[in-house]
Each structure stands twice: as C-alpha cells, then as structure tokens.
Structure 1
C-alpha cells in the first residue's frame, strides 16, 4: 500500500486518461437495445431458422394498426383518412408495404380482367359494403364483422441496421397515424411495438436507478460518517467503476438492455460494501496520536485479503452466468463481473489517494465500542438458546422448501410493462375490437410429388385452418390457401368453396395471382423452395403457453396435413417459446457452477475444507429463501429472475468470508473458539449489519422501477439479502459453534 501511495498522482493521471479514452464507448452504450441479437446467441439454431425465414418472406416484424369507432368506420371521413394514411405510410423508406383498406386491389373477373382499387376518391360506404359482400375472405382481412374496426398490416423492410433503428422507425409510423386519428381511435400492436416500449422504459429506469443509487449512497454516508471526503471516496469508487464498465461495454459494440440497465445499482451497492469495510477498519484503528496516513494504509492492508477474495467469489457468481444459453444473461454476468473487479481496484487506488486526508468522526471510538457491545450481547443471547434458534431455522427451511415444487419457468414479455403503459392499453384495445392478432407463423412444405397448388394440399390446409379456429384464443388463420379462396371468390362468388376441389380452378387462380398480385403472392409463397406460409393469429401468450399452443397446432397439422406436407413453426414466436427451456437451463447451470466456484475459492482462501463448508453451506439458505419465496408468491423463473440464485450465493457469502477470515486470524493468535467468535463478532459484526441494511434498502429501491424485470430483480434480491442476514447472524454462528467446538 505504501508503494501505491507513492505512485498516487501517476495513478490519478492514468485514471483520468482512461476516462477520456472511454468516453465514446460510454456514449455508444447509452443507446437502448432489446432486440433479438441481445437475447439470443449468434449460433442459436432457433435464431438461424428465424433468419432463414426472413430471407424467404422478408421481415416478419409487422405493425398491426386497428382503427376503431363506436360507429362503423365506413364514413367518407374515415375512408378518405384510410386512403391518405396508406400512401403516407408507404412513402416512409422503412416501410415495405401496407395491407389494408386504403390500398386493397380487387381482382378482376377472368384472366383477362384488370384489378381495381377498393377505395377511390368519392367511394361511398354503400359501395364498399356491396363490393366486399361476395368477397368474405377479403372483407374479414380488412374489417370486423360490424365494420366498426379496420385493420392495417404495416410491413417493415428487412435492413442491416433495423434493430438499431427500430425505435426511430416506429416513431415515424406513430406520427403518421397520429396525423389522421386520435389516440383513442387508432391502436398499434406487434412484437416490435413491445420491444420499443421496453427500450423506452429501459432507458428511463437506467437514469432513475443511476440517480437513486447515488442518492441512497449519499444519504447513507452522510448519516453514518458525516465526512465529505469519505463521501467523495465512495462516490468515486462506484462512479469510476460504472463509467469504465460502460465505456468498455459500449466500445465492444454492446448497448443497454433489460438486464444491463441493472448494472449501475448493482455496482453502486457492491462498491459500497468493500469501501465500508475499509472505512470501518480505518475508524477502528484510528487513535488521536497515530498519523492519519498510517491508519489509512494499515486499514487497506488489513482488509485487502478478505476484500480480494470476496470480490473473486462475487465475480465467480456473475461469471457463472456465462454457462447460460442466453446472450442477455451472459453479457450481464460478464460486465457485472468486470464492474465488481473495478470496484475493488478503485477501492484501493482511491483509498491511498483520499483516505489519508480524511478525518475520522469525533465519536468513532465510542460509537464503534457501542455497536460492538450490542453485537456481542446478541451473540451471547443467541448461543445461550441454541435449541430454540435451531428449531426456528429448521421450521423456516421446511416452510421455504415447500414452495420449491410450486416454481415454474415462464416469460411474458408484455407483462414486463406497467398495466397503464400505452403498449399494453393498445394491445388490449386491439384484442377487444378486432380479436386475437399476434401472428404465429407456420411453414408448409409439400412432400415429394406434391406442390402447394395441389388440391390435396390446399384442401388439407383448409381443414387444418378450420380445426385451429375452433381453439380458444385463436382468431383468423390466413396463408397461401386464403389467396386461393379469395381468388376463387372473385371469380365465382359462392361457388368458391366447391371449386377448391378443382385442380384446374386452382391453377387458374395461381396464374392470376402471379400476374396481378406478385408482391402479395410472395408474402405467402416462396417459389424457389415451394414453401407456403400460414399465419395463425392468436392472443399474446407467455412462453410456456405459447409452447403448449405450438404443440397443439403441430398435432393438428400432423393429423390434417401430415400425409401431404410437413409443417413447422417459424418466425419470431418459436424463439420466444424457447425462452422457457433456456431459463430453466440457465438457473440450473449458473447455480451449480456458482456453488462450485464459490466453494473452491473459499476453500483456497481459508485453506480449511471444514471451514469452507461451514462458510458456503449456510449461505445456501438465502438461495432457498429466494426460490421458496418465488414459489409461494407465484413468481416464475424468467430472464429477470433466472440469474438471481447464483448472484445471491456469491453476494451473500462475502460477509461470511470477512467473519471467517477474522475468526481464523484470532484462532492463529491463540484465542479459544469462543474467544475468537466473540472478538470477531465485535470486530466485523457492525459492518455486516450495516452492509446488509444498505444492500436490502438498495435493492428494495428497485421496486420503484417501471419494468417488471427491474422490480422483480430488486424485490427478490432484497428478500434474499434478508435471508442472508438471518443466515449470517443466526444459522452460521450455531453451525460454527457446533462444528468448531472448544
């Protein structure tokens, strides 16, 4: 430490230079991105399938616009608005096309017939009704049965920078819609709309918790230490660690997302823990006669070893997330680990710079002695009643364990948003006025000897669609078969259903579609591979519900289309459904790896297998508290909660390591186990209480966030910290007394 103190000004210069060099990365990191590339690994088979689907049919991230009124929307005012809206949307560079009443082309009769637009200047409501009456398939794709709702499907272009520009593109679409309709008339929905809402709230919560975290730390320090220089010391630690972490994060091409929005508060709270151990040790050593520099450097030397190993165990817990099959969790774990390591570095670099200059509070000795006396009194009270507290601990363990079977894995992306958010209210309005609308894509690949236009394939697809529509929560089922039906209705009206059995009629419609509507045909038929697309409109489901729905659809497909074609899910929804399996795997892998790494590091540090077990095993109690509480409260394992167990284990073992390190030091100096325990609890006990309270309050503050991911992460971590506090002050002393007796 003395050597670092001599180099303190050079170190300060290096820190400033690093901050200047990393500024571009910090700016780049502040752009929020919750796109698929953030969630899934680049080599994920499901992601490759999704990209293959996009290469065939273009960007499937469509925007659904529903225009609704209490009266039919066939008035001249609405019809004119539909026409102008469509043209303005089609003029946007990022919009590939619009399917809706404003630009619908009506097929001509016969192969020589020419198509015409549904809406022209001056078209009346009666003319629209009359035109669409013999075309039920087309009408159902444009209007609700009562004509009070019109639907537009806004198709977005497939672009290399689409994920980066999503928010900007959707804002352009929203502005065009707002020019023609009031918010209560027009509602936007779709996967991209949800992403954009999550991005906006992620940015909001990032700023909120950055501010709240520093405010919390400022208040705690001001209340406890009443020293401006100590305040600068702790703010500097977490500020620099956060800044450098995000500088590296952005320089490597990453952007803030649903998980990394939590990094500031995580680093703030963990940065506080080590610095509080340093400050409390400095205050304990401080005497009126000893030089301030000597006490500060000695305190840094005394806590270096335990702080180093607590940093390593915490880093190990976060790095355990690298075993997760989801990119969003891996990146969170990797950069949280980097930030925690930086917190330790800056704790000691700034410590040699600032601590020698900081005066200890006038009442330090008295306050420290008072806190130590209360801790010793509690410890003696606890150890005098081992049976009572052991029984209480066993009952708590059993009650929490009973909640484990109730745990389930699931993710509901829309549920991350507040119930009053416009994305949620628009979604509810669309479902109420139009019905289920979220697209689930299926690919139909004819078996050898068959093509999409074969009677057998078309008829089987209609049978499949009819069966699927009977399922709960399913709306329209559209696809290549719908094009044939709409074409036949334009040619023969009510005879269309009967003529689906005519191979000649199907071929004629296919030729007409290719001549008059090639762009529309390409949306549902990929000619090079002969693959057809069927879209099942359903309710927005959780990942578990969607998995069950897909399984049901595939069973129906096997029964109806199986003899003539294979059917498989495609598009975004299969990726979403895979999250359930990924979350379960993430929780299991990261927790087991975290336990192994933490135990190995603790054993290496303590150099006693028995003491390492006594240190780590009681700290499984907060993990049990976490998982048991989730089971009893009905909180599912999802992307927000799958990572917490491994983090909690590594986090909560920190204070226990400080206790065991001090305990070992006293035992080596000839103290009996009882003397070592009492001396240790007097030494580190007040800091353990203080850091636990700060951690609990800090994570509890996260419940003020807008995103459910942030709220749940904060709530559950706070619960786990409370469990760790009980484990450290009750379970660990009982276990230590029993297995390290006099």
Structure 2
C-alpha cells in the first residue's frame, strides 16, 4: 500500500475533484433514476399484457385464488332484511369505484338444479324474516355459496377483482375501497374488513416506506452520537461520520442511475449496513490518523501513514464482504440474488468513498484539529487496562483454544437443526389491518389462501365418464383427512346439489351438461381433460403444510394403480413455495460454503500462510453458529431475511479478523516475538474494534423497533453476530495464534515507529 499512499500524496487535488465528480454523478441518479418500480413490485405478479376475455372474467368469479382482495362483512344477525340490504348497498357502492372490476357474493352464485329455474338464493329486501331464515339454510347447504359464509353464519366473504389499468396504486385503492364500504354499510353491519394480496401488499408497502426513512435517520443519529462520545472531537466526528454517509449517497444514487433492480430488504437494510460497514473502516483509518497526529506528524504525513498501514486491511474487509454478498448470486431465489447483487456493488462504492474521503479531508487544514480529544479516548484507555486479561488468556492459551473450537463445533452441529419457513405474518407490520382481517378469515372461513389438486384423465376417456368423478371423490377424501385443510370445492361438490344419491356417480355424470357452462369449465375442463379440487389453507407457515402436501402426493401415488392413465398433481402458489422451501437451506449452505472457501484462500494468499487462513476459521465461524444457535433457542425459522443476514454476518465477522491479523503481521515484523506482537496488536486495534462493535450494534439495533418482522430479525442477527465477532477476535484468535502460529526463524528489527 506504500505505492498507493505515495500516489495519494502526489495527487491530492485530483482526489478532491474525483470526490466532487462522483458525488455529481450520484446526484444525477436521484434526479433521473433508471428504474421507476417500487422495490416490492418486482416480486409481485405482473399485469397481463392482454385484457381477459369475457369468459375468463366470468370464470374468475369461481376461482377465488385469483381474487385481488376479499371484502368481509360481519353482522350480529346477518340474514335479516336490514343486514342484507346493507350488504347490497355496500356491494353497489364498491362496484361503482372505477378500479373495481367485479364483486362476487352469495347473491350472484348460479342456481344449481335440473331446470336452472328456482327462487333467488337471496330474497329481495322486502321479503319476510322467515324467507331470510330459509334462505340461510339453502345458502349454507349450497356448495359454492357455502364457501362465502363463515362457520358461525355471521360473516360474508366477497372476492373482488381489480381493474389494474384504472388503478393508481394498491395503497390508494385499499384506503378508498375500505372507506367506501364502511360508509355504505352504516350501522347495519358490525364490521367491514378488507384483506387479500392487494391490501396486504399495500400495508407492507406503507410500512416499508415509513421504515426506509425513519430507521435510517435513527441509525445515523445513534452512530453520530456514539462517535462523538468516543472520539471527543468535533473534527474527528464529522470526518468519521461523513465518509460512510457519502458512501451511502454514492451507492443509492449510482444504483438508481444504472437501474439496478431494487430489493425491499436491501432498500431499508443496505443504507444502514453500508453506513455501519463504512464506519468500521473509517474508525480504523481515523484512529491511525489521530495517533500519528498526536505523535507529531503533519496532516499529510498522518493521512499517508493511515493509507499505508490500514488501507490493505480496509480493502480486504471490503473484498471479503463483497465476496459474501456475491455468493448469494448462487441462490435460486431472485429475491436473494437481488439483495446480494446490490449490496456487493454498494460495498465497493462505500469502500472507495471511505478510503478517499477520510485521508483527503485529514490532509487538509481540517487535519490540524483532527487529533483533538485523543487524550480523552475512554475506550482506548479501557483496552489498555485489558493488558492483564490478554496475558492471562495467553497463559491459558490451550484451554481457551480448546473451548473456542469446542463451542464452535457444538453450536455448528446444533445449527443443522434450523428449519426453513415462509409465512405472511413475518412480512407484515403488527399494525396491519389487512393482516388482522386475514387472521379473522383464517379463523372463520378456513383461510383465503388456496391451492388445487388437479386430476387429468386419459385422452381415450370421455369427459363424462363416471371414473373421472370417482377420481375426484377419492382426492377429496384424501384432503378431508388433513385437519389443516378445509372446504374442498370440486365439480363433484356442485353435482351433489342435483337430485339423487351423490355417490351414484353414473347418474351424477349425466348432470354435467346441465351445469352453467362457465362454472363447469372451471372445475371440469373438457379441453384440457382436467378436473380440479380447490382447497383452502391458513397462514400457519409453509413448514406446517409441507408434510401435508407430501402426504397428499403419497396418497396420489397409492391411488395411481386404480386409475391407469390418470395423472394427479398439486398446483398453486403455496405448493410452489413448499417445493422451493428447502432450497433456502441449500442456498444458505452453498452461499456460505462458497464465500468461506474464497475468503480462506484470499486470506491465505494475502498473508502468505495457509495456516493463518485456517486459524481464522474459528473466530469467523463462531459468530455465525452463535447466531444460528440463538435462532434455534428462540424458535425462529430460516427465511429469506435470515439467509441474507447470515452472509452479512460473515462479512462483518471477517472484517474484525482481518484488522487484527493485519496489525499482528505488522507488529510481528518488529521483533519476531509472537506473544509481544499479539499484545501490541491487541492494544493497537482493540479500541477500534470495540468502537466499531458499539457503533454497529447501535446502528443495526435501531431496526429492532421496525414494524416489519423481517427487518427486526435481520437486525437481531446482525447485533448478535457483531457482539460474538469481537469476542472471537479479541479472545479466541489471540489464543489460537499463540498456540499454532509458526515460530519465527529469526528476529527482525523494526524499521517503523509507532
């Protein structure tokens, strides 16, 4: 790094102009971003390019899984003239909204009988109370209408399809629709709720936007306050805080300008994370600058010395952190890949900002004041007082090393018991009204999340063959055995409304042609030779339903010999998530394995010692397995946020190790005495490591108050890892180096002053 340090001294003015130019480019990204999508929209289903046909619109009424929202109305006594009139009024007002395509409710359920002629399922408003009581019995017995009535008969579920081309935003639509429905319902309905994918997305988006601003401000403020308490000098605080803020400004501006795909986790976490990581490198640089200034160096000499002595360590920490994020590109999930890509870019940009801004500012007139407060360094004096502890630790080096290795291995084995999961609750703020409505729907309707069992019959078989209905019946029986599933709906359920014995399948098959065409086509598609059974599930987490899906598929395999030529399979978003669920664990193992191997090689190459690379495994792995053990102890599952957090944790853990090893190698060159070099390295970088640990925990810890559970989990994992990392690097690493570092063959005298 001496060459780069000399280059910096010779071209300081060019560095200043470079800082200004990059800042201008980043500012252009804020003014003219290359990608106008909200970060959450990338992971939502895209609108279809072609508008749906009339037949598709009609069929969508019966496909409850395709609904954009569910309006839930509740009344103390629902089937009364007053309550039903209020429901009709509510439906009319909601459908009058420009962005609402259709509302499906019990009054629009098709009549199922031989002649297709009967009294309406829902009586007119002026009918007698007795007529409404009779209607309630008919509706609850109706296979399709019964799907829209709660178990206690006090609530109605009304699927809504949006006209997305006429909508400004899901958030505005949710607020407008709910306000309109509640105003129309008046006092005749006890409660009006709204849930479904669009309202849930709107609540998540609102919380995301609030957190993006609030917690960045809190994190930066805490970091600034802690920096002031630690450095005790205005110039030092402004310089060390300004560098990471500049790095965040550059990163967000440049990625916006380039149109790099945004990511909801990265948009909130990345600015705080880059600020904290940049701050760690900044603290190490500034501690060295202040130390040299206090010893009498000029501002330029102090800046040059900081680049020379700390620059390589800062580069290695950024490189290894970027490798960790880059390893996420091996994941199958677009969400994880996007997080890794944008954070990897951000790490390099933040590194460039820190290693240019701090030395450049320190070499100007500001550098004359940067060492003020150095004599009041509380943490530095505290680390000096720990010399006795480092001596005791090295005397007990074999015991400390053995305990460190045993703890790491033991926690690593425990971490293998972590299980992945995916649940809507972990992505929603606690204040979300749409999620509370979802919980209500789970309790009273069996859920509003759907998957389907598909039965495909052979080409040689007629569509009205009774064997098709027999296959549907057997699939329904399998589903009914599962307590977590409810309300299966199929063509056989519909045919049960016709006269005769529901188990007389040949007779029931003759009624297929009498069913409304659109309704029949959805549940019994002759062209595709497919019958479906629609099934409801609740938001209990995919981990709870994966065994259910496995049992159903095993049941299908057992049925296969009885139905030659048939094909049975499960489809739907929950099934796809379940199939990909354990890919999360594979992604985590692949990412951490690849990152660890590359980092091990890099450290071995830079320090010219494979042994040092191997010795760094324990202090780097210990924080990760400690955090994994904490997840296991609290009963927290692995999810997308956890996978991303583990890689961030690896980068943070390696950072402290690199700074300690770099200082140790420099001190070892002085006299070749390993124990003396460890003591000097401990004092030399110990204060900076403790400072960065406190600042990082404060910065990430601010997100523990986030509304979004995923952000809180990420913050908790980061704080746990950071705290464990400083223990590993200041206790385990010195003991391991004392035990296993090769002895110097000859002592060399130092050529540098400290």
TM-score normalized by structure 2? 0.86
C-alpha offsets along residues 408-446 of structure 1, whole Å, 9 cap, x if unaligned? 222222234355542342223223333344212233322
Q: Aligned residue pairs: how many?
A: 712
Write the distance in 2 (CA, Å) between the matches of 1:214 and 1:27: 27
1:363-385 CA deviation, whole Å, 9 max, x = no partner?
42574873563243332232133
**Alignment match, 1:45:** none
- 1:477 offset after TM fit, Å? 1.0
Of 438, 450, 454, 1:443 maps to: 454
1:566 maps to 567
How big is the shift at 1:570? 2.0
- Does the 8 A contact of 1:89 with 1:173 survive in 2? yes
The residue aligned with 2:749 is none
- Whole-Å Cα distance in 1 between the matches of residues 204 and 220 of structure 2? 24
SS at match of 1:734: helix
Cα offset, 1:574, TM superposition? 1.9
Match of 1:473 among 475, 478, 484: 484
State how far apart, in whole Å, the 1-side matches of 2:320 and 2:73 are: 55
| Deviation (angstroms), 1:344 | 1.0
Q: 1:364 aligns with which of 365, 374, 389?
A: 374
CA distance in 2 between counterparts of 1:526 and 1:172 reads: 37
Q: Tell me: CA distance 1:567–1:187, structure 2 relative to 1, closer, same or farther (3 Å).
A: farther
Instruction: Return the alpha-carbon distance in structure 2 between the equivalents of residues 248 and 38 of structure 1.
Output: 27
Give the match for residue 177 of structure 1. 181
What residue in structure 1 maps to residue 752 of structure 2? Answer: none
Residue 322 (str. 1) matches residue 333 (str. 2): no
| Change beyond 3 A, Cα 1:3–1:60 | farther
Shift of 1:509: 1.5
**1:78 is aligned to 2:83:** yes
Verify the 8 A CA contact 2:216 2:268 in the aligned structure 1. Answer: no
Residue number in structure 1 paired with 2:53: none
Q: Aligned with 1:439: secondary structure?
A: strand
1:72 & 1:500 partners in 2: Cα distance?
A: 38
Alpha-carbon displacement from aligned partner over 1:24-73 (angstroms, at most 9, x marks no partner): 4669678341664599xxxxxxxxxxxxx99x97972542333223x321
In 2, Cα distance between equivalents of 1:27 and 1:77: 54
- 2:426–2:710: 8 Å Cα contact kept in structure 1? no
Secondary structure (helix, strand or coil) at the match of 1:97 reads strand
Matched, 1:210 2:204: no
Question: Residue 502 of structure 2: SS of its match in structure 1?
Answer: helix
Q: Give 1:291 deviation, angstroms.
A: 2.4
Structure-1 separation of matches of 2:463 and 2:642? 45
Q: Is the partner of 2:633 in helix, strand or coil?
A: helix
Give the CA deviation at 1:663.
Answer: 2.0
Is the contact made by 1:480 and 1:524 (CA closer than 8 Å) also made in structure 2?
Answer: yes
Q: Secondary structure at the match of 1:155?
A: strand
1:272 aligns with 2:279: yes
TM-superposed deviation, 1:677: 1.9
Residues 453 and 506 in structure 1, CA contact (< 8 A), matched pair in contact too: no
Q: 1:167 to 1:479 in 2, by over 3 A?
A: farther
Following superposition, the deviation at residue 600 of structure 1 comes to: 1.7
Return closer, same or farther for 1:558/1:66 CA change in 2, 3 Å cut-off: farther
Distance in 2 (alpha carbons) for counterparts of 1:115 and 1:377? 92
Report the more deviating stretch, 94-103 or 299-308.
Answer: 94-103
Answer whether contact 1:25 1:246 (CA < 8 A) is retained: no
The answer to whether 1:127 aligns with 2:131 is yes
For residues 417 and 296 of structure 1, do their structure 2 counterparts lie closer, same or farther at Cα, with a shift above 3 Å needed? same
- SS of the equivalent of 1:502 reads helix
Matches within 5 A, 1:219-234: 219-234=225-240
Gaps of 5+ in 2: 1-7, 47-58, 744-754
What aligned pairs does 1:330-479 form with structure 2 within 5 A after superposition?
330-356=337-363, 357-358=366-367, 359-365=369-375, 367=377, 370-371=381-382, 373-390=384-401, 392-393=403-404, 396-397=407-408, 400-401=411-412, 403-417=414-428, 421-479=432-490
Q: 2:146 is matched with which residue? A: 140
Give the equivalent residue in structure 2 for 1:49: none
Kindly tell me: are residues 672 and 145 of structure 1, through their superposed partners in 2, closer, same or farther at Cα, counting changes over 3 Å?
A: closer
Partner of 1:509: 514
How far apart, in 2, do the equivalents of 1:237 and 1:30 lie?
29
Aligned Cα root-mean-square deviation (Å)? 3.3
Distance 1:26 1:230, change over 3 A: farther
Q: 2: distance between equivalents of 1:390 and 1:577?
A: 42
Q: Is the 8 A contact 2:240 2:286 kept in 1?
A: no
Residue 22 of structure 1 aligns to a residue in which SS?
helix
- 1:536 CA displacement: 0.5
Task: Tell me how far apart the structure 2 counterparts of residues 160 and 73 of structure 1 sit (CA, whole Å).
Answer: 34
Q: Sort the Cα spacing of 1:729 and 1:468 in 2 relative to 1 into closer, same or farther, 3 A.
A: same
Q: 1:299 aligns with which of 306, 330, 336?
A: 306
Which digits, 9 at most, give the CA deviation of each residue in 1:87-143, with x for residues without a partner?
A: 3444445544332124334357626x5996735453454334434645622441333
2-structure distance, mates of 1:185, 1:132:
20
TM-score (normalised: structure 1): 0.87
Report the counterpart of residue 118 of structure 1 in structure 2. 122
Alpha-carbon distance, 1:549 to partner: 1.7
Once residues 166 and 314 of structure 2 are traced to their aligned partners in structure 1, the CA distance between those partners, rounded to angstroms, is 43
Q: Which stretch of structure 1 is more off in the superposition, 269-278 or 235-244?
A: 235-244
Match of 2:201 in 1: 195
* Shift in Å, 1:480: 3.2
Q: Which secondary structure does the structure 2 equivalent of 1:642 belong to?
A: helix
Tell me how far 1:18 sits from its aligned partner: 0.7
Distance 1:477 1:623 in 2: 44
How many Å separate the matches in 2 of 1:464 and 1:723? 52
Aligned partners of 1:385, 1:145: CA distance in 2, in Å?
Answer: 67
After superposition, the C-alpha distances for 1:318-361 in whole angstroms (9 at most, x for unaligned) are 11111111111111111111111111111123224422314134
In structure 2, the residue matched to 1:531 is 530
Deviation of the 1:210 alpha carbon: 0.7
Distance 1:627 1:142 in 2: 43
Q: Is the 8 A contact 2:380 2:687 kept in 1?
A: no
Q: Is the 8 A contact 1:412 1:542 kept in 2?
A: yes
CA 1:655–1:559: 2 relative to 1, 3 Å: closer
CA contact (8 A) 2:404 2:618 kept: no
- 1:610 paired with 2:611, answer yes
SS of structure 2 residue aligned to 1:567: strand
Deviates more, 1:714-723 or 1:408-417: 408-417
SS at match of 1:447: coil
3-state SS of paired residue (2:725) = helix
Cα–Cα, structure 1 residues 667 and 393, in superposed 2: closer, same or farther, change >3 Å?
Answer: closer
Identify which range, 561-570 or 705-714, moves more after superposition. Answer: 561-570
Structure 1 equivalent of residue 553 of structure 2: 554
Aligned to 1:716: 717
